[in-house]
Structure 1
Amino acid sequence: MPSIDTAHTSSSANPSPARPRRLLTQNREMRAIGAWNWTLPAWAGRLPDGRTYNTCPSAGVCREVCYARHGAYLWPVVRAKHQANLQFVLDDLSGWEQAMLGELAAPRFRGGWIRIHDSGDFFSDAYLASWLRIMRQRTGVNFYCYTKEIRRFRALVEPDPPANFLWVYSYGGTQDSELTASDRVADVFPDEASIDAAGWSSQDASDLLAVLGPKLVGVPANRIPHFLRRLQGRRFSEWQAEVDAERHTRRTARVQAITSARSARRRMPPESGSKAA
Protein backbone atom coordinates (compact mmCIF):
# COMPACT_ATOMS: atom_id res chain seq x y z
CA MET A 1 0.00 0.00 0.00
CA PRO A 2 1.14 3.61 -0.33
CA SER A 3 2.88 5.28 2.56
CA ILE A 4 0.26 5.85 5.24
CA ASP A 5 0.59 7.99 8.32
CA THR A 6 -1.15 5.93 11.01
CA ALA A 7 -1.00 8.62 13.66
CA HIS A 8 -4.38 9.97 12.59
CA THR A 9 -6.41 6.86 11.85
CA SER A 10 -8.54 6.24 14.95
CA SER A 11 -12.17 5.66 14.03
CA SER A 12 -13.45 8.09 16.66
CA ALA A 13 -11.36 10.96 15.32
CA ASN A 14 -11.84 10.04 11.67
CA PRO A 15 -15.21 8.46 10.88
CA SER A 16 -15.35 6.57 7.60
CA PRO A 17 -16.08 8.94 4.70
CA ALA A 18 -19.09 8.41 2.50
CA ARG A 19 -18.30 5.96 -0.28
CA PRO A 20 -18.36 7.27 -3.85
CA ARG A 21 -21.78 6.74 -5.40
CA ARG A 22 -20.25 6.08 -8.80
CA LEU A 23 -16.74 4.73 -9.35
CA LEU A 24 -16.35 5.15 -13.11
CA THR A 25 -16.64 8.43 -14.98
CA GLN A 26 -16.73 9.43 -18.62
CA ASN A 27 -15.76 12.71 -20.23
CA ARG A 28 -16.38 13.73 -23.82
CA GLU A 29 -13.16 12.21 -25.16
CA MET A 30 -13.79 8.90 -23.44
CA ARG A 31 -17.42 8.82 -24.56
CA ALA A 32 -16.30 9.18 -28.17
CA ILE A 33 -14.30 5.94 -27.96
CA GLY A 34 -16.69 4.00 -25.71
CA ALA A 35 -14.47 4.19 -22.64
CA TRP A 36 -14.76 5.11 -18.96
CA ASN A 37 -12.16 6.24 -16.41
CA TRP A 38 -11.20 5.07 -12.96
CA THR A 39 -9.16 7.77 -11.22
CA LEU A 40 -7.02 8.20 -8.12
CA PRO A 41 -5.31 11.37 -6.94
CA ALA A 42 -2.00 11.94 -8.67
CA TRP A 43 1.32 11.05 -7.06
CA ALA A 44 1.73 12.10 -3.41
CA GLY A 45 -0.53 13.98 -1.06
CA ARG A 46 -2.45 13.97 2.20
CA LEU A 47 -5.96 12.70 2.78
CA PRO A 48 -8.47 14.74 4.81
CA ASP A 49 -7.89 12.45 7.81
CA GLY A 50 -4.16 13.24 7.83
CA ARG A 51 -2.81 10.10 6.17
CA THR A 52 -0.20 10.59 3.49
CA TYR A 53 -0.09 8.59 0.28
CA ASN A 54 1.85 8.01 -2.91
CA THR A 55 -0.23 6.51 -5.70
CA CYS A 56 2.64 6.69 -8.21
CA PRO A 57 5.61 5.13 -6.40
CA SER A 58 7.66 4.74 -9.60
CA ALA A 59 7.04 8.24 -10.93
CA GLY A 60 10.16 10.02 -12.14
CA VAL A 61 10.32 13.19 -14.20
CA CYS A 62 6.67 12.76 -15.12
CA ARG A 63 5.65 14.12 -11.73
CA GLU A 64 7.26 17.45 -12.59
CA VAL A 65 4.87 18.05 -15.49
CA CYS A 66 1.91 15.84 -14.59
CA TYR A 67 -1.33 17.06 -16.17
CA ALA A 68 -3.24 15.55 -13.23
CA ARG A 69 -1.52 18.03 -10.91
CA HIS A 70 -2.83 20.99 -12.87
CA GLY A 71 -6.08 22.70 -13.78
CA ALA A 72 -9.40 20.99 -13.11
CA TYR A 73 -7.73 18.14 -11.23
CA LEU A 74 -6.95 20.65 -8.46
CA TRP A 75 -10.50 21.92 -8.09
CA PRO A 76 -11.69 21.05 -4.56
CA VAL A 77 -14.69 19.02 -5.73
CA VAL A 78 -12.54 17.02 -8.18
CA ARG A 79 -9.74 16.45 -5.68
CA ALA A 80 -12.28 15.32 -3.06
CA LYS A 81 -13.78 12.78 -5.49
CA HIS A 82 -10.39 11.31 -6.35
CA GLN A 83 -9.35 11.16 -2.70
CA ALA A 84 -12.63 9.45 -1.81
CA ASN A 85 -11.82 6.80 -4.43
CA LEU A 86 -8.42 6.22 -2.84
CA GLN A 87 -9.84 6.10 0.69
CA PHE A 88 -12.30 3.43 -0.39
CA VAL A 89 -9.44 1.31 -1.75
CA LEU A 90 -7.24 1.84 1.30
CA ASP A 91 -9.90 1.31 3.95
CA ASP A 92 -11.92 -1.51 2.39
CA LEU A 93 -10.21 -3.12 -0.59
CA SER A 94 -12.56 -6.11 -0.70
CA GLY A 95 -15.58 -3.82 -0.41
CA TRP A 96 -14.23 -1.62 -3.20
CA GLU A 97 -13.65 -4.70 -5.37
CA GLN A 98 -17.24 -5.84 -4.89
CA ALA A 99 -18.54 -2.34 -5.61
CA MET A 100 -16.52 -2.20 -8.83
CA LEU A 101 -17.77 -5.63 -9.88
CA GLY A 102 -21.32 -4.51 -9.21
CA GLU A 103 -20.95 -1.34 -11.25
CA LEU A 104 -19.33 -3.17 -14.15
CA ALA A 105 -22.26 -5.59 -14.31
CA ALA A 106 -24.37 -2.83 -15.86
CA PRO A 107 -25.19 -3.53 -19.54
CA ARG A 108 -23.69 -0.22 -20.70
CA PHE A 109 -20.17 -1.48 -19.97
CA ARG A 110 -20.43 -4.67 -22.04
CA GLY A 111 -18.02 -4.42 -24.96
CA GLY A 112 -16.71 -1.09 -23.69
CA TRP A 113 -13.33 -0.09 -22.33
CA ILE A 114 -12.21 0.92 -18.85
CA ARG A 115 -9.09 3.06 -18.62
CA ILE A 116 -7.59 2.30 -15.24
CA HIS A 117 -5.95 5.48 -13.94
CA ASP A 118 -6.01 8.63 -15.96
CA SER A 119 -4.30 9.68 -12.73
CA GLY A 120 -2.43 7.45 -10.27
CA ASP A 121 -0.95 3.99 -10.80
CA PHE A 122 -0.94 0.46 -9.37
CA PHE A 123 0.62 1.43 -6.06
CA SER A 124 0.66 -2.01 -4.39
CA ASP A 125 0.59 -5.72 -5.19
CA ALA A 126 -2.72 -6.16 -3.37
CA TYR A 127 -4.38 -3.36 -5.32
CA LEU A 128 -3.16 -4.72 -8.66
CA ALA A 129 -4.28 -8.23 -7.70
CA SER A 130 -7.74 -6.87 -6.95
CA TRP A 131 -7.97 -5.37 -10.42
CA LEU A 132 -6.86 -8.65 -11.99
CA ARG A 133 -9.65 -10.49 -10.17
CA ILE A 134 -12.15 -7.90 -11.41
CA MET A 135 -10.99 -8.36 -15.00
CA ARG A 136 -11.30 -12.13 -14.81
CA GLN A 137 -14.85 -11.86 -13.51
CA ARG A 138 -15.99 -9.23 -16.02
CA THR A 139 -14.85 -10.86 -19.25
CA GLY A 140 -17.33 -8.87 -21.34
CA VAL A 141 -15.55 -5.62 -20.48
CA ASN A 142 -12.16 -4.51 -21.84
CA PHE A 143 -9.55 -2.87 -19.62
CA TYR A 144 -6.40 -0.90 -20.44
CA CYS A 145 -3.84 1.28 -18.74
CA TYR A 146 -0.58 3.17 -18.93
CA THR A 147 1.78 2.21 -16.13
CA LYS A 148 5.28 2.84 -14.82
CA GLU A 149 5.09 -0.14 -12.45
CA ILE A 150 7.26 -2.32 -14.68
CA ARG A 151 8.61 -4.69 -12.03
CA ARG A 152 5.16 -5.22 -10.54
CA PHE A 153 3.71 -6.06 -13.96
CA ARG A 154 6.61 -8.35 -14.82
CA ALA A 155 5.90 -10.33 -11.65
CA LEU A 156 2.11 -10.25 -11.41
CA VAL A 157 0.66 -9.59 -14.87
CA GLU A 158 2.96 -10.76 -17.64
CA PRO A 159 3.09 -14.45 -16.60
CA ASP A 160 -0.71 -14.83 -16.96
CA PRO A 161 -2.52 -11.68 -18.14
CA PRO A 162 -6.32 -11.58 -18.35
CA ALA A 163 -7.45 -11.88 -21.97
CA ASN A 164 -9.42 -8.61 -21.71
CA PHE A 165 -6.53 -6.50 -20.38
CA LEU A 166 -4.05 -4.47 -22.45
CA TRP A 167 -1.36 -2.17 -21.12
CA VAL A 168 1.45 0.09 -22.26
CA TYR A 169 4.53 0.93 -20.23
CA SER A 170 5.13 4.67 -20.12
CA TYR A 171 8.48 6.41 -19.97
CA GLY A 172 9.34 9.02 -17.39
CA GLY A 173 9.59 6.73 -14.37
CA THR A 174 12.30 5.39 -12.12
CA GLN A 175 12.17 1.96 -13.80
CA ASP A 176 12.67 3.18 -17.39
CA SER A 177 15.99 1.35 -17.71
CA GLU A 178 14.18 -1.99 -17.37
CA LEU A 179 12.14 -1.53 -20.55
CA THR A 180 13.14 -3.65 -23.55
CA ALA A 181 12.63 -3.58 -27.30
CA SER A 182 9.85 -6.16 -26.99
CA ASP A 183 7.72 -3.95 -24.72
CA ARG A 184 4.84 -1.77 -25.86
CA VAL A 185 5.91 1.68 -24.69
CA ALA A 186 4.57 5.22 -24.62
CA ASP A 187 6.73 8.32 -24.56
CA VAL A 188 5.66 11.94 -24.19
CA PHE A 189 7.02 14.13 -26.99
CA PRO A 190 7.10 17.92 -27.28
CA ASP A 191 4.64 17.87 -30.19
CA GLU A 192 3.20 15.86 -33.07
CA ALA A 193 6.05 16.81 -35.40
CA SER A 194 8.64 15.27 -33.08
CA ILE A 195 6.57 12.08 -32.87
CA ASP A 196 6.54 11.80 -36.66
CA ALA A 197 10.25 12.59 -36.89
CA ALA A 198 11.06 9.77 -34.47
CA GLY A 199 8.98 7.28 -36.45
CA TRP A 200 6.54 6.69 -33.59
CA SER A 201 2.73 6.64 -33.83
CA SER A 202 0.61 9.24 -32.09
CA GLN A 203 -2.36 8.25 -29.94
CA ASP A 204 -3.86 11.72 -30.12
CA ALA A 205 -6.75 10.66 -32.37
CA SER A 206 -7.89 8.03 -29.87
CA ASP A 207 -6.44 7.02 -26.53
CA LEU A 208 -7.13 3.39 -27.42
CA LEU A 209 -4.34 3.60 -30.00
CA ALA A 210 -1.97 3.37 -27.04
CA VAL A 211 -2.87 -0.31 -26.72
CA LEU A 212 -4.39 -1.14 -30.12
CA GLY A 213 -2.02 0.68 -32.49
CA PRO A 214 1.72 0.26 -33.19
CA LYS A 215 3.73 -0.54 -30.08
CA LEU A 216 5.86 2.64 -30.15
CA VAL A 217 3.30 5.13 -28.87
CA GLY A 218 3.90 8.86 -29.04
CA VAL A 219 1.93 11.14 -26.73
CA PRO A 220 2.03 14.86 -27.56
CA ALA A 221 2.78 16.97 -24.50
CA ASN A 222 -0.02 18.99 -22.98
CA ARG A 223 0.15 22.60 -24.11
CA ILE A 224 0.64 23.98 -20.62
CA PRO A 225 3.26 26.74 -20.96
CA HIS A 226 5.24 26.19 -17.76
CA PHE A 227 5.24 22.42 -18.34
CA LEU A 228 6.59 22.92 -21.86
CA ARG A 229 9.36 25.10 -20.46
CA ARG A 230 10.34 22.32 -18.07
CA LEU A 231 10.30 19.79 -20.90
CA GLN A 232 12.81 21.89 -22.89
CA GLY A 233 12.10 20.10 -26.15
CA ARG A 234 12.92 16.67 -24.70
CA ARG A 235 10.99 13.44 -24.65
CA PHE A 236 10.19 12.01 -21.23
CA SER A 237 12.60 9.14 -21.92
CA GLU A 238 15.42 11.59 -22.68
CA TRP A 239 14.72 13.71 -19.63
CA GLN A 240 14.56 10.67 -17.35
CA ALA A 241 17.80 9.31 -18.82
CA GLU A 242 19.51 12.62 -18.03
CA VAL A 243 18.27 12.52 -14.44
CA ASP A 244 19.33 8.88 -14.04
CA ALA A 245 22.79 9.63 -15.44
CA GLU A 246 23.24 12.59 -13.09
CA ARG A 247 22.15 10.47 -10.13
CA HIS A 248 24.58 7.72 -11.14
CA THR A 249 27.42 10.23 -11.42
CA ARG A 250 26.71 11.63 -7.95
CA ARG A 251 26.45 8.16 -6.45
CA THR A 252 29.71 7.06 -8.08
CA ALA A 253 31.47 10.19 -6.84
CA ARG A 254 30.29 9.54 -3.27
CA VAL A 255 31.48 5.94 -3.38
CA GLN A 256 34.85 6.98 -4.78
CA ALA A 257 35.23 9.64 -2.09
CA ILE A 258 34.50 7.12 0.66
CA THR A 259 36.85 4.54 -0.86
CA SER A 260 39.63 7.10 -1.28
CA ALA A 261 39.28 8.25 2.32
CA ARG A 262 39.54 4.69 3.60
CA SER A 263 42.59 4.00 1.42
CA ALA A 264 44.26 7.18 2.64
CA ARG A 265 43.74 6.17 6.26
CA ARG A 266 45.28 2.76 5.62
CA ARG A 267 48.35 4.38 4.03
CA MET A 268 48.95 6.77 6.91
CA PRO A 269 52.24 6.03 8.77
CA PRO A 270 51.97 4.94 12.40
CA GLU A 271 52.10 7.69 14.99
CA SER A 272 55.52 8.64 16.33
CA GLY A 273 56.65 6.35 19.12
CA SER A 274 54.35 3.47 18.23
CA LYS A 275 55.88 0.01 18.01
CA ALA A 276 55.88 -2.01 14.86
CA ALA A 277 53.84 -5.17 15.02
Structure 2
Amino acid sequence: MTIARPTRLLTQNRRLRAIGVWNWTLPAWAGRMPDGRTYNTCPSAGICRDLCYARVGTYRFPAVKAKHEANLAFVIDDLAGWEQAMLAELAHPRFAGRWVRVHDSGDFFSDDYLTAWLRIFRARPGSNFYCYTKEVRRFRRLVEPDPPPNFRWTFSYGGTQDHLIDQNHDRVADVFPDSAAITEAGFASQEVCDTIAATGPPRIGLPANRIPHLMARQGPVRFSELQAAADRRRARRRPVAQEERRAA
Protein backbone atom coordinates (compact mmCIF):
# COMPACT_ATOMS: atom_id res chain seq x y z
CA MET A 1 0.00 0.00 0.00
CA THR A 2 1.38 3.40 -1.02
CA ILE A 3 0.85 6.26 1.42
CA ALA A 4 0.11 9.51 -0.42
CA ARG A 5 2.43 12.39 0.37
CA PRO A 6 0.87 15.43 2.02
CA THR A 7 0.48 18.49 -0.17
CA ARG A 8 0.80 20.85 2.81
CA LEU A 9 3.23 20.22 5.62
CA LEU A 10 2.54 23.05 8.08
CA THR A 11 -0.90 23.48 9.57
CA GLN A 12 -2.67 25.38 12.34
CA ASN A 13 -5.07 24.05 14.92
CA ARG A 14 -7.57 26.42 16.44
CA ARG A 15 -5.41 27.28 19.45
CA LEU A 16 -2.27 27.99 17.43
CA ARG A 17 -4.15 29.91 14.75
CA ALA A 18 -5.33 32.35 17.42
CA ILE A 19 -1.71 33.32 18.16
CA GLY A 20 -0.39 33.10 14.59
CA VAL A 21 1.71 29.96 15.12
CA TRP A 22 2.17 27.19 12.55
CA ASN A 23 2.74 23.55 13.37
CA TRP A 24 4.39 20.39 12.06
CA THR A 25 3.34 17.11 13.61
CA LEU A 26 3.86 13.37 13.56
CA PRO A 27 1.82 10.54 15.05
CA ALA A 28 2.39 10.17 18.78
CA TRP A 29 4.68 7.47 20.15
CA ALA A 30 4.34 4.01 18.54
CA GLY A 31 1.99 2.50 16.01
CA ARG A 32 1.55 0.74 12.71
CA MET A 33 1.06 2.51 9.40
CA PRO A 34 -1.47 1.32 6.81
CA ASP A 35 1.31 -0.40 4.83
CA GLY A 36 2.20 -2.54 7.86
CA ARG A 37 5.37 -0.75 8.97
CA THR A 38 5.74 -0.06 12.67
CA TYR A 39 7.17 3.15 14.08
CA ASN A 40 8.17 4.88 17.28
CA THR A 41 8.36 8.65 17.00
CA CYS A 42 9.04 9.13 20.74
CA PRO A 43 11.88 6.72 21.58
CA SER A 44 12.60 8.45 24.91
CA ALA A 45 9.00 8.51 26.12
CA GLY A 46 8.55 7.38 29.70
CA ILE A 47 5.42 7.69 31.80
CA CYS A 48 4.10 10.18 29.24
CA ARG A 49 3.26 7.21 26.98
CA ASP A 50 0.21 6.42 29.09
CA LEU A 51 -0.76 10.06 29.69
CA CYS A 52 -0.31 11.52 26.22
CA TYR A 53 -3.11 13.80 25.03
CA ALA A 54 -2.08 13.09 21.41
CA ARG A 55 -3.08 9.43 21.73
CA VAL A 56 -6.74 10.16 22.46
CA GLY A 57 -9.58 12.36 21.28
CA THR A 58 -9.38 14.13 17.95
CA TYR A 59 -5.88 12.79 17.33
CA ARG A 60 -7.45 9.35 16.82
CA PHE A 61 -9.93 10.56 14.20
CA PRO A 62 -9.15 8.60 10.99
CA ALA A 63 -8.46 11.70 8.88
CA VAL A 64 -6.18 13.25 11.51
CA LYS A 65 -4.29 10.00 12.12
CA ALA A 66 -3.86 9.46 8.38
CA LYS A 67 -2.46 12.98 7.95
CA HIS A 68 0.11 12.49 10.71
CA GLU A 69 1.14 9.09 9.39
CA ALA A 70 1.51 10.54 5.88
CA ASN A 71 3.86 13.16 7.34
CA LEU A 72 5.94 10.43 8.97
CA ALA A 73 6.02 8.26 5.86
CA PHE A 74 7.34 11.22 3.83
CA VAL A 75 10.17 11.70 6.34
CA ILE A 76 11.06 8.01 6.51
CA ASP A 77 10.81 7.27 2.80
CA ASP A 78 12.44 10.41 1.40
CA LEU A 79 14.13 12.57 4.03
CA ALA A 80 15.92 14.70 1.41
CA GLY A 81 12.69 15.22 -0.54
CA TRP A 82 10.81 16.10 2.65
CA GLU A 83 13.50 18.62 3.60
CA GLN A 84 13.26 20.33 0.22
CA ALA A 85 9.47 20.39 0.42
CA MET A 86 9.62 21.96 3.89
CA LEU A 87 12.12 24.57 2.69
CA ALA A 88 9.89 25.40 -0.28
CA GLU A 89 6.83 25.79 1.91
CA LEU A 90 8.65 27.97 4.44
CA ALA A 91 9.76 30.28 1.63
CA HIS A 92 6.17 31.59 1.38
CA PRO A 93 5.73 35.13 2.77
CA ARG A 94 3.08 33.90 5.23
CA PHE A 95 5.87 32.43 7.37
CA ALA A 96 8.00 35.56 7.51
CA GLY A 97 8.51 36.53 11.14
CA ARG A 98 6.21 33.73 12.32
CA TRP A 99 6.75 31.02 14.88
CA VAL A 100 6.61 27.37 13.88
CA ARG A 101 6.12 24.70 16.54
CA VAL A 102 7.94 21.52 15.57
CA HIS A 103 5.83 18.59 16.81
CA ASP A 104 2.43 18.97 18.33
CA SER A 105 2.99 15.24 18.84
CA GLY A 106 5.98 13.04 18.13
CA ASP A 107 9.63 13.94 18.70
CA PHE A 108 13.05 14.03 17.03
CA PHE A 109 13.27 10.27 16.66
CA SER A 110 16.66 10.01 14.89
CA ASP A 111 19.91 11.90 14.40
CA ASP A 112 19.29 12.26 10.67
CA TYR A 113 15.82 13.71 11.21
CA LEU A 114 17.01 16.26 13.79
CA THR A 115 19.97 17.22 11.60
CA ALA A 116 17.62 17.85 8.68
CA TRP A 117 15.59 20.21 10.86
CA LEU A 118 18.74 22.06 11.91
CA ARG A 119 19.57 22.66 8.25
CA ILE A 120 16.03 23.94 7.70
CA PHE A 121 16.27 26.36 10.63
CA ARG A 122 19.51 27.82 9.29
CA ALA A 123 18.17 28.07 5.75
CA ARG A 124 15.06 29.99 6.84
CA PRO A 125 16.36 32.67 9.25
CA GLY A 126 13.27 34.81 8.65
CA SER A 127 11.10 32.35 10.58
CA ASN A 128 11.34 31.24 14.21
CA PHE A 129 11.05 27.68 15.49
CA TYR A 130 10.48 26.06 18.88
CA CYS A 131 9.75 22.66 20.34
CA TYR A 132 9.27 20.56 23.43
CA THR A 133 11.46 17.46 23.45
CA LYS A 134 12.48 14.51 25.59
CA GLU A 135 15.55 13.76 23.45
CA VAL A 136 18.03 15.23 25.91
CA ARG A 137 21.11 13.25 24.84
CA ARG A 138 20.48 13.93 21.16
CA PHE A 139 20.15 17.67 21.77
CA ARG A 140 23.28 17.74 23.92
CA ARG A 141 25.24 16.20 21.03
CA LEU A 142 23.70 17.78 17.97
CA VAL A 143 22.10 21.09 18.97
CA GLU A 144 23.76 22.62 22.00
CA PRO A 145 27.31 22.89 20.58
CA ASP A 146 26.09 25.24 17.81
CA PRO A 147 22.36 26.09 18.07
CA PRO A 148 20.63 27.96 15.23
CA PRO A 149 19.79 31.47 16.47
CA ASN A 150 16.12 31.14 15.41
CA PHE A 151 15.47 27.89 17.30
CA ARG A 152 14.36 27.48 20.92
CA TRP A 153 13.80 24.19 22.71
CA THR A 154 12.40 23.10 26.05
CA PHE A 155 13.10 19.76 27.69
CA SER A 156 9.82 18.27 28.88
CA TYR A 157 9.63 15.93 31.85
CA GLY A 158 8.08 12.50 31.66
CA GLY A 159 10.75 10.72 29.61
CA THR A 160 13.43 8.14 30.21
CA GLN A 161 16.13 10.84 30.05
CA ASP A 162 14.68 13.08 32.77
CA HIS A 163 17.73 12.43 34.93
CA LEU A 164 19.86 14.27 32.36
CA ILE A 165 17.84 17.50 32.64
CA ASP A 166 19.46 20.30 34.62
CA GLN A 167 16.64 22.46 35.94
CA ASN A 168 19.12 25.16 36.95
CA HIS A 169 20.38 25.67 33.40
CA ASP A 170 17.93 24.06 30.93
CA ARG A 171 14.56 25.35 29.81
CA VAL A 172 12.11 22.83 31.24
CA ALA A 173 8.43 22.00 31.04
CA ASP A 174 6.37 19.86 33.39
CA VAL A 175 2.74 18.75 33.24
CA PHE A 176 0.79 19.55 36.41
CA PRO A 177 -2.59 18.27 37.57
CA ASP A 178 -4.10 21.76 37.39
CA SER A 179 -3.32 25.46 37.08
CA ALA A 180 -3.14 26.00 40.83
CA ALA A 181 -0.33 23.46 41.10
CA ILE A 182 1.63 25.34 38.42
CA THR A 183 1.42 28.59 40.37
CA GLU A 184 2.28 26.88 43.66
CA ALA A 185 5.45 25.38 42.13
CA GLY A 186 6.58 28.75 40.81
CA PHE A 187 6.33 27.80 37.14
CA ALA A 188 4.97 30.04 34.37
CA SER A 189 1.77 28.67 32.84
CA GLN A 190 1.70 27.68 29.18
CA GLU A 191 -2.00 28.55 29.22
CA VAL A 192 -1.02 32.19 28.65
CA CYS A 193 0.45 31.47 25.21
CA ASP A 194 2.14 28.40 23.73
CA THR A 195 5.17 30.39 22.55
CA ILE A 196 6.08 30.98 26.20
CA ALA A 197 8.10 27.79 25.65
CA ALA A 198 10.35 29.87 23.40
CA THR A 199 10.13 33.40 24.74
CA GLY A 200 9.07 33.13 28.37
CA PRO A 201 10.64 32.13 31.70
CA PRO A 202 12.77 28.98 31.78
CA ARG A 203 10.32 26.89 33.83
CA ILE A 204 7.04 26.21 32.05
CA GLY A 205 4.02 24.46 33.52
CA LEU A 206 1.36 22.78 31.40
CA PRO A 207 -1.98 21.94 32.99
CA ALA A 208 -3.14 18.38 32.39
CA ASN A 209 -5.68 18.05 29.62
CA ARG A 210 -9.21 17.67 30.97
CA ILE A 211 -9.54 14.07 29.85
CA PRO A 212 -11.09 12.21 32.79
CA HIS A 213 -9.28 8.87 32.56
CA LEU A 214 -5.90 10.55 32.01
CA MET A 215 -6.47 12.92 34.92
CA ALA A 216 -7.36 9.98 37.16
CA ARG A 217 -4.23 8.14 36.08
CA GLN A 218 -1.98 11.15 36.72
CA GLY A 219 -3.50 11.96 40.10
CA PRO A 220 -2.33 14.96 42.18
CA VAL A 221 1.31 14.85 41.04
CA ARG A 222 3.24 16.18 38.06
CA PHE A 223 5.00 14.26 35.28
CA SER A 224 8.47 14.76 36.75
CA GLU A 225 7.35 13.13 40.01
CA LEU A 226 5.70 10.21 38.23
CA GLN A 227 8.81 9.62 36.13
CA ALA A 228 11.12 9.85 39.13
CA ALA A 229 9.04 7.22 40.91
CA ALA A 230 9.15 4.98 37.83
CA ASP A 231 12.93 5.42 37.64
CA ARG A 232 13.31 4.41 41.30
CA ARG A 233 11.23 1.28 40.75
CA ARG A 234 13.34 0.37 37.72
CA ALA A 235 16.56 0.91 39.67
CA ARG A 236 15.33 -1.39 42.47
CA ARG A 237 14.45 -4.13 39.98
CA ARG A 238 17.76 -3.94 38.11
CA PRO A 239 19.97 -5.63 40.76
CA VAL A 240 17.40 -8.41 41.16
CA ALA A 241 17.33 -9.04 37.41
CA GLN A 242 21.13 -9.07 37.25
CA GLU A 243 21.31 -11.57 40.12
CA GLU A 244 18.76 -13.82 38.41
CA ARG A 245 20.82 -13.80 35.20
CA ARG A 246 23.98 -14.72 37.09
CA ALA A 247 22.19 -17.58 38.83
CA ALA A 248 20.67 -18.95 35.60
TM-score by length of 2: 0.97
Alignment map for 1:8-157 (pairs within 5 Å): 14-15=1-2, 17-157=3-143
Specify the code of the residue in structure 2 equivalent to 1:222.
N
- Preserved CA contact (<8 Å) 2:121 2:150: yes
Which of the numbers 182, 192, 204 marks the counterpart of 2:179?
A: 192
1:247 to 209, 214, 234: 234
Gaps of 5+ in 1: 1-13, 263-277
CA distance in 1, matches of 2:6, 2:245: 53
After TM superposition, the structure 1 stretch with the greater mean CA deviation from structure 2, 66-75 or 21-30, is 21-30
Q: Which amino acid aligns with 2:65?
A: R
Tell whether the 8 Å contact from 2:136 to 2:155 is kept in structure 1 after alignment.
yes
Partner-residue secondary structure (3-state), 1:187 = strand
* Corresponding position of 1:217: 204
Provide the secondary structure at the position in 1 that maps to 2:100: strand
What do the CA deviations read for 1:166-225 (whole angstroms, capped 9, x no partner)?
000000000000011211100000001011111111111100112211101111100110
The alpha carbon displacement at 1:252 in A equals 1.8
Contact kept in structure 1, 2:129 and 2:152, CA below 8 Å: yes
**Contact 2:90/2:124 (CA < 8 Å) preserved in 1?**
yes
Deviation at 1:232, TM superposition (A): 1.3
Deviation at 1:257, TM superposition (A): 5.1
**Could you tell me which residue of structure 1 aligns to residue 218 of structure 2?**
231
CA distance in 2, matches of 1:237, 1:58: 14
In 2, the alpha carbon distance for the partners of 1:28 and 1:231 equals 26
What is the letter of the counterpart of residue 247 of structure 1?
R
Report the number of matched residues: 247
**Stretches of structure 2 lacking an aligned partner (at least 5 in a row):** none
Kindly provide the amino acid, as one letter, of the partner of residue 18 in structure 2.
A
1:240 to 1:98, Cα distance in 2 relative to 1, 3 A: same
- Please report the RMSD computed on the Cα atoms of aligned residues, expressed in angstroms: 1.2
Residue aligned with 2:8, SS: coil
In the superposition, the TM-score normalised over structure 1's length comes to 0.87
Identity rate, percent: 65
Shift of 1:256: 4.3
* Structure ID, larger Rg: 1
Whether contact under 8 Å (2:130, 2:197) holds in the other structure is no
Alpha-carbon distance in structure 2 between the residues aligned to 1:204 and 1:228:
17
